[in-house]
Amino acid sequence: MILSALLHALADLTASEPRPEAGLTATALHAAACTDFPTSVPSDLFSGILHTAALAGGHPAAMPIREAHAQLPWQDSPAAARQPKALRSIKSVVTLLGPGAPIPSDSLRFGLFYQAPGSHYPLHAHNAAETYAILSGSALWRAGDRCLTLGPGDAVHHPPRMPHAMRAGPDGFLAIWRWSGDIGLDSYRMLPDPTAT
């Protein structure tokens, strides 16, 4: 029941984005509300995820994530093999929709993303178009030439191959993310990042 409520909340949130792939994602999440997720080992970042999800002022969808945390398959990024190993200690991902995910899709990837307080995810790019929406916490975001400060309710879209990086605020951040278009992992690459410290 908790997981079903979360999937409906995420579907409703996603449906508010004015992109065709958002509607497809919302439909898939609503249709899969009774999906059983595989049992998983809790993330090493468990306490940070729970803290950030419970922050005052967060988006209403953050609380169902906190409540369903133990039922969610938190793990490393699907692109982990193409990332520096040090990134594993700063982020945790749930892939809800996509190839090999609990909700299968060959055309979309969608899930949850947590980044630890004060950490930096260096500049990277991929062929997939990507959208993030912050649910709780805050981040400084670099998307192409733009530098943004994002908080609950804010979203950012990266067209295919746009370089982007994010630095988590003092409480970290919890977000939803979606890939569309070319969702294969082969194009994922880290880029030189002069702001990485």
Which domains can be identified in the chain, with CATH numbers? 2-190 (2.60.120.10)
Cα→Cα distances 149→38, 122, 134, 136, 146, Å: 35, 16, 11, 13, 10
pLDDT at position 158, please? Answer: 96
Crossing angle for the helix pair 2-15 and 20-31, to the nearest 10 degrees: 160
Residues 6+ apart with CB under 8 A from 142: 123, 148, 163, 164, 165, 166, 195
Summarize pLDDT for 82-93 with one digit per residue, the tens. Answer: 888 888 899 999
136-179 pLDDT, tens per residue? Answer: 999 999 999 999 999 999 999 999 999 999 999 999 999 999 99
Q: What are phi and psi of 2, to 5 degrees?
A: -65, -45
pLDDT < 50: residue spans in the chain: none
The token pair that represents 35 in the structure block: 């999906």
